[in-house]
């Protein structure tokens, strides 16, 4: 059994598997970022979405079937990126050689964890980044709060500087997981 | 050698990129077309590998006034964009024809 999502693409509605939806959403975001044509970007995205709808329709025919991950992958391979490169399935990583040459090592980034917050999500973000127990980090911060103002200011600075992990892709990066549809679906469930 | 092959590929893709806009105008000069038929013609001619390249180009050329589109009703699904070349586009195409001939002639001359 799988969760499905109802989406409107290019003026048509489709029922799409959740993993396929996340993959398509990540692809569209990446395409948008790479197009970079100011306010004309929306026009390009409209055209692209219409083409995606056309290709989905062609494949599904008149059957009212669900768009699955393999169809989405096929369409993405056909469409590719605005600069003519193929989509490598990762999000926000424009350089595909560095991605593969690090033999699966994924860039980990420091985000504030929006799912586990007490104040600003700094401790939980730090725990995810350093792979430490969140309780340990919190206890350390509380001790620092009482021993002078250093802990307080450190927390405030982290709060200001670190972005909040809001999208599923950012949450993957926060935990150091590769940004794949499968990993992203882990985080979209506990929203 | 691996390195040589990839640099040849790079040059080839650069060349194609350079004449892609010229090709789009040439296709529309023959007859008006949907984006999908422009794509399939370019694909058949091995001009593009992925379709994504084309959409930003079409919008850019439209904004430059080289081409225009109208909405055509289709039998199934919503209306689709039907592209056509403008007078300005024709003018540019004529200039591109001349420039293309010059490039080809120059290269031939140098190779002799």
Same domain, A80 and A22: yes
**Interchain proximity A80–B36, CB inside 8 Å:** no
Polymer length in residues for chain A: 191
Same domain, A59 and A122: no
Which residues lie across from B82 on neighbouring strands? B34, B70
**Interchain proximity A84–B60, CB inside 8 Å:** no
pLDDT at position A90: 42
Query: Is the predicted pLDDT of residue B70 greater than 80, yes or no?
Result: yes
Which residues lie across from B80 on neighbouring strands? B72
Angle at A155 between CA A152 and CA A161, to 5 degrees: 140
Q: What is the DSSP letter of A62?
A: T
Buried b (16+ CB within 10 A) or exposed e, A106-128: bebbbbbbbeeeeebbbbbbbbb
Q: Under DSSP, is residue A4 helix (H, G, I), strand (E, B) or coil?
A: strand
Total number of domains in chain A = 2
Q: Among all chains, which residue has been given the structure tokens 């096929």?
A: A74
Q: Map B4-26 to HEC letters.
A: HHHHHHHHHHHHHHHHHHHHHHH
Query: Is the predicted pLDDT of residue B93 greater than 90, yes or no?
Result: yes
Token digits of residue A149? 């103002």
Selecting from A11, A50, A82 the residue whose C-beta is nearest the C-beta of B53 gives A82
Low-confidence ranges of chain A (pLDDT < 70): 64, 87-106, 188-191
Selecting from B49, B58, B81 the residue whose C-beta is nearest the C-beta of A84 gives B49
Which residues of A fall within a CB distance of 8 Å from B73? none
pLDDT at position A160: 87
Same domain, A82 and A18: yes
Same domain, A32 and A90: yes
In chain A, the residue whose alpha carbon lies closest to the alpha carbon of B43 is A78
Q: Which domain holds residue A17?
A: 4-98
The pTM of the full predicted model, rounded to 2 decimals, is 0.61
Token digits of residue A22? 């996340």
Q: Where among A98, A133, A149 does a domain terminate?
A: A98
Distance of alpha carbon B96 from alpha carbon B90, whole angstroms: 10
- B4 pLDDT band, cuts 50/70/90, is low
Which residues lie across from A4 on neighbouring strands? A17
Tell me which residues of chain B have a C-beta less than 8 Å from any C-beta of chain A: 13, 17, 35-36, 48-53, 55-56, 58-60, 63, 76-78, 80-81
Residue A107 falls within a domain, yes or no?
A: no
Distance of alpha carbon A113 from alpha carbon A127, whole angstroms: 9
Residue A171 falls within a domain, yes or no?
A: no
């Amino acid at each position: 059994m799988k969760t499905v999502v109802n989406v409107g693409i290019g003026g048509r509605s489709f029922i799409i598997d959740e993993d396929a939806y996340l993959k398509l959403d990540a692809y569209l975001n990446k395409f948008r970022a790479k197009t970079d044509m100011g306010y004309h970007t929306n026009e390009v995205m409209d055209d692209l979405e219409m083409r995606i709808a056309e290709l989905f329709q062609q494949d599904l025919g008149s059957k009212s079937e669900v768009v699955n991950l393999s169809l989405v992958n096929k369409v993405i391979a056909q469409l590719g990126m605005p600069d003519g490169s193929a989509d490598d399935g990762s999000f926000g990583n424009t350089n595909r050689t560095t991605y593969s040459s690090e033999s699966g090592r994924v860039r980990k980034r420091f985000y504030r964890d929006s799912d586990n917050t007490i104040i600003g999500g700094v401790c939980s973000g730090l725990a995810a980044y350093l792979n430490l127990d969140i309780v340990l980090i919190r206890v350390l911060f509380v001790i620092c709060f009482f021993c002078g103002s250093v802990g307080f200011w450190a927390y405030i600075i982290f709060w200001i500087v670190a972005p909040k992990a809001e999208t599923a892709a950012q949450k993957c990066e926060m935990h150091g997981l590769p940004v794949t549809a499968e990993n992203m679906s882990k985080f979209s469930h506990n929203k | 050698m691996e390195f040589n092959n990839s640099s040849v590929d790079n040059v080839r893709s650069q060349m194609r990129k350079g004449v892609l806009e010229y090709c789009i105008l040439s296709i529309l000069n023959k007859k008006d077309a949907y984006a999908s038929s422009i794509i399939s013609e370019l694909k058949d001619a091995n001009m593009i590998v992925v379709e994504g390249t084309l959409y930003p180009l079409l919008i850019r050329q439209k904004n430059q006034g080289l081409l225009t589109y109208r909405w055509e009703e289709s039998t199934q699904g919503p209306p689709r964009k039907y592209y056509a070349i403008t007078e300005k586009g024709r003018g540019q195409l004529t200039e591109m024809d001349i420039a293309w001939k010059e490039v080809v002639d120059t290269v031939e001359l140098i190779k002799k």
